[in-house]
Amino acid sequence: MKYIFNSIIFSLIPLASFGAEVVETCQLGDRPAHIIQITREHEIADSYIYGFQYGDTPPYIYGDPNTSRGLSVHIACAGKKQHALVVFGEFASNFLQGFVIVRNRRSGKLHRLDFAERSPPQWLYIGRDETVVVLPAHGSVEYSGKKYIVYRRANRDGAQAAISGSDVLPPSEGFEVTQLKGAKPR
């Protein structure tokens, strides 16, 4: 009986007290200070609470532990010349939610482009001044009749995302284009 009681007590201790597991590391610039890490902790069934480790970035990827609990989460450090962190999965929505984080080379600041759709992202365009994520429009009510949903965000403070439907992929001039089919599940 004592063994069962101790097992129950130890299973109630938060996993954070044992440290979060680092599941991806991505160097967004040319210095060690530009490394961002995605962590996970507090496993329940197949879900975890996901967080960041980067300077003074808020610790949870969606602001608090409840909205940062994810299932079937995919994470990738994408790009060859300029890296971007790509995260998407099932969070607090009936859509796939995700984001891309890039570092502005001139200002050194991180910029985030959030998206939520029924399909996972397929292409990432990293440019000097703009980040673009392209997703198939399967099942989209708003963009039915279009082949792609395109999310764009300028890589500067205060910029807002622009979302549009398109039948063609955006032009690649001025961008490093990465196909994202290989994002690893975490």
- Residue 162's pLDDT band (boundaries 50, 70, 90)? very high
**Could you tell me which residue, 160 or 55, shows the higher pLDDT?**
160
CA pair distance 69, 14, nearest whole angstrom: 15
End-to-end CA distance of the chain: 36
Taking residues 12-25, what's their average pLDDT?
Answer: 62
For 26-57, what is each residue's pLDDT tens digit? Answer: 999 777 778 999 999 999 998 999 998 887 66
CA pair distance 171, 45, nearest whole angstrom: 42
- Residue 9's pLDDT band (boundaries 50, 70, 90)? very low
Taking all residues of the chain, what is their mean pLDDT, rounded to a whole number?
84
CA pair distance 49, 21, nearest whole angstrom: 10
Evaluate if residue 186 carries a pLDDT over 70: no
pTM of the model: 0.83
What is the pLDDT at residue 184? 60
What is the pLDDT at residue 32? 73
